[in-house]
Amino acid sequence: YILFLDADDILEATFLSSRVEFLSSNPAYGICGTDILTIDYKSLIMTATKRMQAPDDNMLNQTLLYQQPYESVPSNLLIRRQILIDHSIFFEERLSSTADKYFLCCLAKFTECKNIKGGRLLYRILEGSMSHSITSKLLSDNIKYFSLLKKNNIIPGKIYNVVAKKNYYMMAGLALRLKDYRNAIIFFLKYGLTRFKLLNRSFAF
């Protein structure tokens, strides 16, 4: 098995044993995880945060569509080592804040994840973390992420327009907050066109 653990996260006592027990007994699954508890810089549990858990039986859609409460946190997951070896799955070095999502999308082509009961991940949230900072690098990273999804045909056709709409809207919002008006206009136009396609498809039925 492989576990990717961030330096500032903490594992509950039965984190590994519960995951190994599940994967040993359920060969159809290549990944498993649990609910996630968030902690602050003092390692105190944060009670006012949203619920977070491992993907559960539909990891690709849950990750691509940003479905809550499913979160792409590799530190929460135990993964069968052989799957990574057989399919040459690595973290994409051209990505930063979106690397975790892309990694899970690549894994989802070959196996499935289960959210189980057991030792949880204590996931540390810091105000200055990469995912909380609105920067031009964050916008560029999301553009690369969506481009790689399209290039490598990872998005299922039946949800492609929904995924595209969500990503265009998010990228337009990031660009607007950065006062990058050129990209804001481009992505708002792409969002509008994709939304129009979805509306036409719904009327067709």
Mean pLDDT in each 10-residue stretch from start to end of the chain (205 residues)? 93 97 98 95 84 95 96 96 97 96 97 97 78 85 98 96 97 97 97 90 54
Return the H-helix or E-strand segment holding 33: strand 31-33
CA-closest candidate to residue 109, choices 163, 154, 63: 154
pLDDT at position 150 is 97
Q: Assign residue 88 a region: left if phi > 0, alpha if psi is -120 to 50, beta otherwise?
A: left
Q: What confidence score (pLDDT) does residue 203 get?
A: 52
Contact by Cβ (8 Å): 33, 19: yes
